[in-house]
Every structure is written in structure tokens, then in C-alpha cells.
Structure 1
Amino acid sequence: MSTEELYARDSYVKEFTAKIVKVVDKGVVLDRTAFHPKGGGLESDNGILISKSTGKEFVVTETKKEGENIVHFLENPIQIEEGEVVVGRINWDRRYRMMRLHTASHIISSIAFSKYGSYITGGNITPEYAKDDFDIEDKSLLVDIVKEANEIARSGRNVKVFFLSREEALKIPGIVKLAEKMPPEVNIWRIVEIEGIDIQADGGPHVNNTSEIGDIEILKVENRGKSKKRLYYTVKP
């Protein structure tokens, strides 16, 4: 049985009840979870699991997807057993900052793609900052892109999540904005749309409205070679 991914349909689930279906080395697998696993350029959620029967708390240090299951790695998993019902509580401050940065990254990548035909060639999002690599020649263009991204963020665009068949999704121009990369070979794709700005296949959590992002601030721009620039940015508290 695969883990039900609660975060895929609602990024704002902070607390949930689930059953431990498997105890593995240093962690557990739940039947359902709101913890987003590491992957897709995002660091994983962390938080706690609380046993409904004993009240004991277990610190979740990291989550990873392994096959169809999501493993919750625990600081001290010795006293937790298969079949236990737990309350999961994610570290919301950490998650929410990554949601804001993630939606900001979609706006930035959309402007880079639509204006300059530039794809993202790599990237990563942490709670503190994000970094994206672009196949773009002039790094000053990234300054202009972030300025425009801030204007879009302040305009308060709604962010929608829905699902399409792979066949239907591939009919949408720019549905994938990662260079030389397609989503996994699955029949149903999760789509994230920023109204009037961007639409792309994506598996991670986002804010509901771009006004939640706040100000996007450039930390630095690095030259990584010919037509390769790395943008570091954050969102102000």
C-alpha cells in the first residue's frame, strides 16, 4: 500500500492522524502523511509524531520517498511499533517559508522562459533561501526578472492545484520548465497554475495566493560558465 500524500491536495495541512504501517531502520512508514519528502528541488519537512496511546513524542528529522512509500526518519524510533496511531505535526514555520520560496521560483522561472526562452537547469529550495541555475547569458537579466516577479507577487494571483492525464498535460506549452527533464512516467500529473502567469507540472507545496510570498530579495548571482548563471534569493520575513 502506498502512502497517501495529503500535501499533494492541500499544502496547508499542518496536523493529521495516521497509522504506522511499517517500522524500518531509523524510521516509520505511515498510511497517510502531510510531511513533504525531500525531492523535486525541495528539502523535506520535519516535525513530530505523537503516539495516541502513550502520548510519547518522536522527532521527525527528515522524510524521503522510497518507492511508493514515504519514510519518516526519527531521532529515536526504538519505542514505536507497527499499528500505532499517531498524530503528525509538521514544523509549519519551516514549511511555510519553503512554500513562499517555491511559488516565487515558479514566477521567476515563468518570466525567464516566456521572455528569454531560458530553462532552469538545476536548483534547490531550503527554508533560508533558494538557488536556481538558468541557461541565460546576461546575469543582469536575472535582476530584471526578480523585479518583475515581485510585481507579480504583489498583484495577488491565485495559485491552483489540479490533476491531468499525462497526455493532456503534454499538450500545454511550457508545462515542464526544467531543461532535459520530464516528470516521472506516471499517468496522472499534478499541475500547479499561477493564474495568468504560469502553469507547470510540479509535486511540491505552494501558497494559495502570490501575495503571501512577500518581497523576493536577491542574495547573489554567480557566473557558472558560458550561458550558465546561478541565482540565490530569499523572501523577507
Structure 2
Amino acid sequence: MEELYLKDCYLKEFEATVESVKDDKFVVLDRTAFYPKSGGQPHDTGILVRDGEEFPVTFVGKFEGKISHEISVPGLREGDKVKGFIDWERRQLFMKYHTACHILSAIIHNETGAMITGNQLAENKTRVDFNLENFDRGQLKSYESKVNEIIDLDIPVTISILPKNEAFMIPSVVKLKDAFPPDVEEIRVITIPDVDRQACGGTHVSSTGEISHIEIFKAENKGKNNRRIYFRFRSD
């Protein structure tokens, strides 16, 4: 299956062929621009269209290496030619949140040395988890300001598909070396120059200037050495 979003996060529509349908609602295509739920980023929604008939896509997941599109209207069959349309407003929101998450995570790591242990994007907020013994809540406004400064610099964000050996020359990627399957040949790397460079399979904006300013509005202790902060986009 060709995962079109890996190379072009801005692809809003595409053509594909139905490879299989299970239980009249789980559809696998030969190629897709729909992002499956993974890595803390929610799935895309949208529609598949066959000869003018619409099949809303309500969930997208990856199972046993194949992306499955759950449709709410039955009727698609193996071999059908379809056109897919991404809910662009939802996709673009998560692209902005995901890139902002990379910026904030990089700042926290650079300022404290903490390792980022997880993140979760949502439509109205995003959280970042990190491993840190002493939690200085007074620094949160400083982190927020630094993220917004980087947003204002309108720095280009690039996506590279690198051979494994080349990717493992990047310090931030080689730290995760053991997390990759042993048979992986290429690694997708997201680069924000002078800010962050990470292996990532999610969708991102092409420039930090596309992101709204953020505000950090909540901080929690989630157990020994486990800290969590929440941020959202400012409405002003």
C-alpha cells in the first residue's frame, strides 16, 4: 500500500482502487492519503466517492501493515475505483499541533535535558509527557514564549526519507535505534533547522509561520519522574 501522506502532507484528494472490504465497512485501498491513528496523532476523516456515491470515512487505523478505512455507508466492493477526499480542516489542525508539539518538546529537552515520553494531539488541546524529577512550573511561560518566537520566525519544516544508515548518523534519531524494526530500510525525518530533527511518521506544516501562537494552560505530575503539560492555540 502506498502511503501518500508520508511525502505530501498537503494532499487533499487522491484516486485509488479498493483492494478488499471486510464486514461491509473496513476498506483497504491500494494507496491512500488518509492518516491512520498512530504516534499520538488522531486519524483523518473524509469521504470515499464511487461514481458520485459518497462513503464517509469515520476511522482510519493501521493493522498488520495495512491501512483500513472504516466507512459508515456500506456498498464498496473489491476492484472499485474511488476518489478520496480528506477533511482538510481537521487534517490541517493536527498538522499545526504536531509541528508545535515538536517545537515545544525540543525546547523542554534543550532546557532541562528531559526525554519526551509521549504526546497526544486533540482538536482543542495537545499534551506532552516528559521524564523529569524536578518540575519548575515557573518555567512554563518561558517555554511558551520560546515556542511562539520560533513560530514567528517562519522557519521551513522539511520532510526527508533517509536510508537507515544515514538517519542513524543523526543524534536524536540514533537514540531511538532500538525502537525501529530490524528490517527497516528507510526512516522519515522531520527537520526544523536549529530547532529540532526527529524521526516521525506524522503530518506537519511546511513552515512554523503557519502555526498559531500557543498557550500552556495546565501542568500535572503523573507519578515519579513523569510530568505532563497541556497547550492549545490562542484565539487572539
The TM-score with structure 2 as length reference comes to 0.92
Whether the 8 Å contact between 1:176 and 1:200 is mirrored in structure 2 is no
Q: Residue 38 of structure 1 aligns with which residue? A: 37
Q: Mapping of 1:116-155 within 5 angstroms? A: 116-136=112-132, 137-138=134-135, 139-155=137-153
Query: Given the superposition, is the C-alpha separation of residues 117 and 212 from structure 1 closer, same or farther in structure 2, using an over 3 Å criterion?
Result: same
Once the two structures are superposed, residues 181-235 of structure 1 have per-residue CA deviations (whole angstroms, 9 ceiling, x without a partner) of 7244412100000122110100010000000011112231112133321111112
Residue 65, structure 1, aligned to residue 65, structure 2: no
Identity of aligned residues (%): 42
* Cα shift at 1:115: 2.2
Q: Residue 227 of structure 1 aligns with which residue? A: 225
Residue 11, structure 1, aligned to residue 13, structure 2: no
* Cα shift at 1:177: 7.6
Matching residue's letter, 1:161:
I
User: More deviation in 206-215 or 182-191?
Assistant: 182-191
Say which SS state the counterpart of residue 70 (structure 1) adopts: strand
Of 108, 112, 121, 2:108 maps to 112
Residue 50, structure 1, aligned to residue 49, structure 2: yes
Matching residue's letter, 1:87:
K
User: More deviation in 60-69 or 221-230?
Assistant: 221-230
Structure 1 unaligned blocks of 5 or more: none
Whether the 8 Å contact between 2:4 and 2:32 is mirrored in structure 1 is yes
User: Aligned partners of 1:126, 1:177: CA distance in 2, in Å?
Assistant: 27
User: Aligned partners of 2:29, 2:210: CA distance in 1, in Å?
Assistant: 30
Of 96, 101, 115, 1:100 maps to 96
* Cα shift at 1:5: 0.6
* Cα shift at 1:7: 0.3
Once the two structures are superposed, residues 29-69 of structure 1 have per-residue CA deviations (whole angstroms, 9 ceiling, x without a partner) of 01111100000111100111110x3x110010010111221
* Cα shift at 1:93: 0.6
Residue 208, structure 1, aligned to residue 218, structure 2: no
Q: Residue 28 of structure 2 aligns with which residue? A: 29
Matching residue's letter, 1:89:
F
Query: Given the superposition, is the C-alpha separation of residues 160 and 199 from structure 1 closer, same or farther in structure 2, using an over 3 Å criterion?
Result: same
CA RMSD in angstroms, aligned pairs only? 1.8
Kindly tell me the number of residue pairs found equivalent between the two proteins. 231
Q: Mapping of 1:152-167 within 5 angstroms? A: 152-167=150-165
Whether the 8 Å contact between 1:166 and 1:187 is mirrored in structure 2 is yes
Query: Given the superposition, is the C-alpha separation of residues 85 and 47 from structure 1 closer, same or farther in structure 2, using an over 3 Å criterion?
Result: same
Whether the 8 Å contact between 2:167 and 2:174 is mirrored in structure 1 is no
Whether the 8 Å contact between 1:219 and 1:233 is mirrored in structure 2 is yes
Query: Given the superposition, is the C-alpha separation of residues 135 and 176 from structure 1 closer, same or farther in structure 2, using an over 3 Å criterion?
Result: farther
Whether the 8 Å contact between 1:95 and 1:127 is mirrored in structure 2 is no
